[in-house]
Structure 1
Amino acid sequence: MRLSLGFSPCPNDTFIFDALIHNKIDTEGLTFDVSFDDVETLNRKAVQGELDITKLSFHAFAHVADQYALLEAGSALGFGVGPMLISREPFDEARMQLLGQPDNRLRVGIPGKLTTANFLLGVAFPELKDKQELVFSDIEAALIEGRIDLGLIIHENRFTYQDKGLHKVIDLGDHWEKLTGCAIPLGGIVVNRRLGHGLQLQVNRLLRQSVEYAFAHPKSSLDFIRQHAQEMDEAVMYKHIDLYVNKYSVNLGQEGRQAIDTLFSMAEKRGLIPAQPGYLYV
């Protein structure tokens, strides 16, 4: 059986999917038609129900949970891994207070309205309304060129912004952790509910095996990761993987599900997402 599969070219995704799509594990008769897209494109494809299996942000998942179920394997959660709000100039205390003023007029570059990053920004600074959607890798350049006043960065840009003379305003992941005590739910892997529960469980089992293979053979996927990471050097690639691929990527467990349920409960109470189906998981 052939299934459509979408994930990002970021190192954490190529790391966990390498064994699955390159037959380094027994895929039990399943083959995959793979498409690579940035997270917001994947989010929008999920809204349209285009793919059988896809990576998406947890914020986006909240809008499509009636169509997709969350796999227990493959998710990106963790502590100290959240999005960052950055600026061209250092933010002093007076400018920090400006973030909470309704008439602040600050232009913020975000990696997509449905990203979990944007949700966490809304939790911390609901007054920031002037948001411009950009491909996540273009946000630093837009900030440097003065097209935006603040940038909401994710993925490998967490490790590169200082090299470009940019400054951290706030780590929104740290803000979330202090607020809830939970790991930060960033993105997950979902499977279309139309596939049937037995096939969903099979996909989950295979993805877990793929993640476990990646941990057991960390250099096996290096060429595949490098091919899609473009200009990123090897040290940054593995720093990225170390942050975003962890025990929650093997299996969410009670702790991971609690973090996701907390995110969804908070978002639902604030009217940011629709009411959720009875059970989110495969």
Structure 2
Amino acid sequence: MDIAFSPCPNDTFIFHAWVNGLIPDAPKLKVTYADIDITNTLAEKADGPDILKISYASLPWVHESYGLLPCGGALGRGCGPLILTKQGQENVSLAGKSIAVPSERSTAFLLFRLWIAKHVPEGIKEIHVLPFHEIMPAIADGKMDAGLVIHEARFTYPSYGLRCVVDLGDWWEKDTSLPIPLGAIIAKKTLDLTKIAQWIRASLAHAQKHPRSSQKYVMDHAQELDWNVAQEHIDLYVNSFSHDLGKEGYQAIHALLTRAMKEGFIPTVDYKSLLIK
């Protein structure tokens, strides 16, 4: 069975047991490790992987072939994307600036567009898609005026001499009273999605019962080489929603996608067609 997910600590932590054959009766996995900008487009291909981690923002483009699984993804509070600039640039407007983003199909970028529509009516000068790990150096070097970052950058951006000008997760939570739907796990509708969800939950349960067993695997793929940073990342992004989206999780997804459809940022689809519970 083919699977594609990011090398980020929350994904490798969740899938470690399954990838390493520790889940009884679960099929062997062939893994592709890729940044979200790549996984968001893999699902659109006819020969795309059986299972993928993508942004919730990308669901409307793949819903005919893939179903949303109720577990394994990244959704929570206090874990949203940040807009960063260099320190010393206080009170500088984002209007007319060049901004680096990790993916034009990412939830981070969708939240960014929703926020910009409300707060920067003048608009942005240029949007540049860069690999996640290149964004903060590009801001620090002055190649970009600002950048949109996700994941462990929440913990490391001060070391690049950067400051947070907008916490999009904080804005979203205050505006909606809902958690932030970031990354989704999807699988081909031709597969047994209930079984796949069971294997993912078993892999997550194993990781949480034996937290040290996945450490080497997590660090072999982590883009930040500090275990304490990786552990902070896991603690933040692996939570109750990783086990089950639940009513609140589905409400958050619905709120994000319906707002984006209303603004014309994503294709208009029947929300119910995105969900396989």
TM range (shorter): over 0.9
Structure 1: gaps of 5 or more residues: none
Cα drift, residue 275 of structure 1: 2.2
Cα drift, residue 231 of structure 1: 4.2
Structure 2: gaps of 5 or more residues: 118-122
SS at match of 1:51: coil
Q: Which residue of 2 aligns with 1:158?
A: 154
Question: Does the Cα contact within 8 Å between 2:60 and 2:274 map onto a contact in 1?
Answer: no
Kindly provide the amino acid, as one letter, of the partner of residue 92 in structure 1. Answer: E
Cα distance in 1, alignment partners of residues 109 and 14 from structure 2: 25
Check if 1:201 corresponds to 2:199.
no
Residues 8-17 or 202-211, more deviating: 202-211
241, 261, 265: which one aligns with 2:258: 265
SS at match of 1:159: helix
Cα distance in 2, alignment partners of residues 91 and 270 from structure 1: 31
Cα distance in 2, alignment partners of residues 86 and 229 from structure 1: 22
Q: Which residue of 1 aligns with 2:144?
A: 148
216, 220, 223: which one aligns with 1:223: 216
Check if 1:245 corresponds to 2:238.
yes
Check if 1:119 corresponds to 2:115.
no
Cα drift, residue 151 of structure 1: 0.8
Cα distance in 2, alignment partners of residues 5 and 88 from structure 1: 37
Cα drift, residue 57 of structure 1: 0.6
Identity of aligned residues (%): 39
Q: Which residue of 1 aligns with 2:16?
A: 18
Cα distance in 1, alignment partners of residues 71 and 149 from structure 2: 25
Q: Residues 29 and 228 of structure 1: is their aligned pair in 2 closer, same or farther, counting only changes over 3 Å?
A: closer
Check if 1:139 corresponds to 2:135.
yes
241, 250, 255: which one aligns with 2:248: 255
State the Cα deviation string for residues 51-96 of structure 1 (Å, max 9, x = none).
1100001111232112211111101011110010000134434x2x
Question: Does the Cα contact within 8 Å between 1:69 and 1:190 map onto a contact in 2?
Answer: yes
Count matched residues: 269
Q: Which residue of 2 aligns with 1:60?
A: 58
Cα drift, residue 152 of structure 1: 0.5
State the Cα deviation string for residues 120-149 of structure 1 (Å, max 9, x = none).
111111322510000011001111111110
After the TM superposition, which residues 35-114 of structure 1 pair with which residues of structure 2 at under 5 Å, given as runs? 35-49=32-46, 50-93=48-91, 95=92, 98-99=93-94, 104-114=95-105
Question: Does the Cα contact within 8 Å between 1:90 and 1:168 map onto a contact in 2?
Answer: no
State the Cα deviation string for residues 224-255 of structure 1 (Å, max 9, x = none).
00110154211100000011000000111111
Cα distance in 2, alignment partners of residues 91 and 63 from structure 1: 38
Question: Does the Cα contact within 8 Å between 1:16 and 1:211 map onto a contact in 2?
Answer: yes
Cα distance in 2, alignment partners of residues 90 and 281 from structure 1: 45
After the TM superposition, which residues 27-38 of structure 1 pair with which residues of structure 2 at under 5 Å, given as runs? 28-38=25-35
State the Cα deviation string for residues 98-135 of structure 1 (Å, max 9, x = none).
33xxxx32000000100111001111113225100000
Cα distance in 1, alignment partners of residues 170 and 79 from structure 2: 8
Kindly provide the amino acid, as one letter, of the partner of residue 154 in structure 2. Answer: R
124, 130, 134: which one aligns with 1:128: 124
189, 193, 198: which one aligns with 2:185: 189
SS at match of 2:190: helix
Q: TM-score normalised to the size of structure 2?
A: 0.93
Q: TM-score normalised to the size of structure 1?
A: 0.92
Cα drift, residue 194 of structure 1: 2.8
Kindly provide the amino acid, as one letter, of the partner of residue 281 in structure 1. Answer: L
Kindly provide the amino acid, as one letter, of the partner of residue 120 in structure 1. Answer: L
Cα distance in 2, alignment partners of residues 23 and 235 from structure 1: 26
Kindly provide the amino acid, as one letter, of the partner of residue 217 in structure 2. Answer: F
